[in-house]
Amino acid sequence: MRPTHCGLDAAIEVISGKWKVVILWALSDSHRRFGELRRLIGVSEKVLFQHLRELEADGIVRREASEDLPMRVEYSLTDRGQALNHALKPLGAWGREYLPDRAVPVPVPAPGDS
């Protein structure tokens, strides 16, 4: 980890990576198992595992393993992760407002279509 010069630089360092913000979104409302996250996000096992480990090391994601067989591992956001998600909401709103051409369009049914 490189030294940071300001709080924003430190935050960007934590969320850098193509899938980290998507992982935060996926964990925002519930605990999820690895396979569930992988299907929901559509990322390779290797990349998901790497990003989860990095987010865990930064104190953003909590990994909980059960003692049962087969072993059950669930991921969730820590308080710090919840705070980060909350801090990212205005950035998402900015993106929707100022970069609407990059957003995925929502199909609107034509009149008479059911």
**Could you state, in order of their start, the residue ranges of all structural domains in the chain?**
14-97
Q: What is the pLDDT along the chain (114 residues), one digit of tens a residue?
A: 556 567 888 888 899 888 999 999 999 989 999 999 999 888 999 999 999 999 999 999 999 998 888 888 999 999 999 999 999 989 888 887 887 777 654 444 445 544
User: 14-97 has which fold?
Assistant: Arc Repressor Mutant, subunit A (1.10.10)
**Calpha distance 2→59 (Å, rounded):** 17
User: Max Cα separation, the chain?
Assistant: 59
**What gap in Å lies between CA 28 and CA 40, rounded to an integer?**
13
